[in-house]
Structure 1
């Protein structure tokens, strides 16, 4: 055994306990948060945020002034061509619409209110910071809140995965799925998107559900109902994760029916807890129903998003690998904008996702129910994305962001796969593969954001290979700007 090998083994023995693994994740988080880009810029970000600003400062849900102000602050963001168009005014209420759900605003509220208190205290001592919801303390508060929630999601994923894998495998899988996927981008670059918040809620839901399997009481079902409601209010499609307890419930009923000991008593008790869960879940959606009522004139969402759905999911396969991005013939889709092949699929942007899914094979012999439910939850998210006929490809987004909330599933899979590496093999090989996948993602990130923005239209082959190889050298040349003057690299820097 070489001296280098011994040193490597000693260095990684440091993360073989949960406390040290958590500390490593926190240290990495602090390093990346120093490079964060906190701002509210694009239309999606603005829609998530204006609930808070308008309710707190204006006392209403009339977003006209909010949209106009964010357009003035970010004139190239496209707000005037989308959010401020006349067809966005609801005929029933005369208010501008907002297709973003309210969950992120709810999660940001403590940080937003703290920022408001600090701004007013600072002004009382002579500072001159506008207490208007547009100034930097408010924006920083909600952006860093999202990053913090993303960190909590990672720590929860670590806890969940440790039931099935060692500390080393779990740590490496958690770091890999964090830094080799779009999650890192939406935690630190486009921070006000809902994905980091949604990732936390899915991680929390699965962790609570898993930790209480076989011993849930009514309090647990209340907690799950509240988390489930907040999940749906953060991103509507996250409601598909409720398939996990729903399918589990069906199997529980079936098993009870087959037994003869206190069958009806046990069935009645279980059914009562499920009714309680559903009641809490529906009640927790009250803020969203209220928002719909005020904005749309009915407690239902507008048709701008749901109207895009084609329930035969013509691009379900393309969501993963778009080898032929024409819609499936059996879906009977008319003319659709042609997409280049191999430009948008999740497995192409983030190959680590495909690697991680393979690991679920080793979960099957240990916990068939969990393996099945996690795969069903993943397929459900792929299905609903494929149903977005006009936006399935997520052009202009970095990576395949709609699968970020499936990160807990991928971390479990990758950790189990790492565990299968023969004990006789050097762990450096596992690390080398994960580091290479992280490097691929960071190459895409800097090319997408700075050097080759044509990637925002999709992966460009074969040019991408050269761009990825050139990225480290170009990154070193721009290091001082990236570290100390990031605004100069933005197409639309903040004023």
Structure 2
């Protein structure tokens, strides 16, 4: 067996180990709690159920039903807030996961045929189980895509470490195992696929790839509106190419030697792909725009754009005063303070910036735009959030950065250090997840890094006591 085949075998084995750990955590939690859809996930799930079973998007009856559904784990209820008439969340996640919801429906019918009494109402456990499994499956598929993308530039071992780090030492881990009904795993899958097409196909020359990129970007925006900002990736690619051709023309290169070349001929080949991608992506946003217009009377009256004012802020977004340092380094869900390995990822991209200037420049710009948007939001700590959950969509960037970092120093001793470091940060992330899930630290209140570090030493006995005394 040659080295390439051996690498493939080990990659597959490690993939199955990751899948096994992820599914074990999810299934144990699902069994203990009794359901898989809770928190913000209810807001994503109920419009799908309402559309399929009621033929509308009013979710008050679903929320009313779920408000009487108690957790097996401590008896806590799922709905403890005011019951809304319509969901503030987009319909995109439900549409993406609708095939898995359908599998849940058929499983429910089969169980009833076998004599097991399970309500055929879109709200019983088989529907939730397969809906969440669909989210997990797409999230893991997204990580495989991340590996394939990084493998085009970096070594096998470095890419494995990169994927493992993002899988189990980033905020994505929590939303692949526990809060799987939220949109982050699916968002990561779509944006990872978008990035892969960007780096792996000649999309500038192929119309079908441009349409596909527009479809994926549009669907990602339909799932999480913040994802539409990744449109900057093809835009910067075209701008980079135009500048390069303009410089070549000015310096008398091949472009400059072509007689009769015009600015239109120089610019149009780049603008045409952007117009196709943009048109397709915008058209895919129209359904949600019209839904919001119908539900709330005006797109500008949707809760996301009104919540900031309702909470006493000048608006939902404060673009002139973004909390960038807090978003990245605060103990209150800070991305790099909660998940230090992701800072290593950014350092890795910077290290290879001279080798891959266009790739790194565009990826870092895309990441910076996500940081700025989150930092400008009135709720910059991202609500009840395990770390920087809103950056799960940047997983492709993080995998590339980690692979770059561990590949930058190819000596075997450095590779061993990379393995030890990745395992350490995976354990750190796992213990932090136990702190968060057990209530040892508040989910939506400020916490200092001092508290978090001190708690890491005592979280296991605290968590076990929490489990066995509920």
TM exceeds 0.5?
A: yes
Residue 386 (structure 2) aligns with: 398
Q: How does 1:150-165 map to 2 (within 5 A)?
A: 150-165=139-154
Q: Are positions 1:420 and 2:408 aligned together?
A: yes
Q: Does 1:471 align with 2:459?
A: yes
Aligned equivalent of 1:17: 7
**Aligned counterpart in structure 2 of residue 452 of structure 1, from 427, 436, 440:** 440
CA shift in 2, pair 1:356/1:272, >3 Å: closer
Q: Which residue of 1 aligns with 2:54?
A: 58
Q: Distance in 1 between matches of 2:454 and 2:138?
A: 35
Give, in whole Å, the separation in 2 of the partners of 1:76 and 1:451: 13
Report if the CA contact (8 A) 1:115-1:137 is conserved.
Answer: yes
Cα deviation for residue 41 of structure 1 reads 4.7
CA contact (8 A) 1:448 1:454 kept: yes
- Which residue in the other structure is 1:430 paired with? 418
C-alpha distance in 2 between matches for 1:29 and 1:216 = 37
1:133 corresponds to which of 97, 119, 122: 122
* Structure 1 equivalent of residue 240 of structure 2: 251
**Residues 143/290 of structure 1: CA separation in 2 closer, same or farther (3 Å cut):** same
Shift of 1:187: 0.7
Of the three residues 125, 148, 155, the one matched with 2:137 is 148
Go from structure 1 to structure 2 and tell me whether the alpha carbon gap of 1:17 and 1:310 turns closer, same or farther (over 3 Å shift): same
- Structure-1 residue corresponding to 2:336: 347
Q: For the residues of structure 1 that align with 2:165 and 2:39, how far apart are their CA atoms? A: 30
Q: Distance in 2 between matches of 1:398 and 1:214?
A: 36
The TM-score, its normalising length taken from structure 1, stands at: 0.82
Measure, in 2, the Cα distance between the counterparts of 1:142 and 1:218: 33
Q: Does structure 1 residue 271 correspond to structure 2 residue 271?
A: yes
CA contact (8 A) 1:14 1:20 kept: no
C-alpha RMSD of the superposition: 2.6
Aligned residues: 438
Of stretches 183-192 and 40-49 in structure 1, the one that deviates more from structure 2 is 40-49
Q: Which has the higher helix share?
A: 2
Offset from partner CA, 1:107-162 (integer Å, 9 cap, x none): 11111112112322332343321110110000001111111111011000001111
Structure 2: runs of 5 or more not aligned: 250-254, 307-315
Deviation at 1:23, TM superposition (A): 3.5
**Residue 309 of structure 1: aligned partner:** 317
Alignment counterpart, residue 34 of structure 1, candidates 24, 40, 44? 24
Q: Call closer, same or farther: CA 1:269–1:103 in 2, change over 3 Å.
A: same
Instruction: Find the aligned partners of 1:398 and 1:469 in 2 and give their Cα distance.
Output: 19
Spell out, residue by residue over 1:331-360, the C-alpha distance to the aligned partner (whole angstroms, 9 max, x if none): xxxxxxxxxxx3332111111111111001
| Greater Cα offset, 198-207 or 209-218 | 209-218
1:70 to 59, 66, 70: 66
Corresponding residue number in structure 1 for 2:357: 368
Alignment correspondent of 1:319: 327
Q: Matches of 2:37 and 2:135 in 1, distance apart?
A: 15
After superposition, the C-alpha distances for 1:405-447 in whole angstroms (9 at most, x for unaligned) are 1111111111111112351625321111111111111111112
Q: Relative to structure 2, which stretch is displaced further, 141-150 or 69-78?
A: 69-78
Q: Is 1:223 the counterpart of 2:212 in the alignment?
A: yes
Contact 2:64 2:83 in 1 (8 A): no
SS of alignment partner, residue 99 of structure 1: coil
1:4 aligns with none
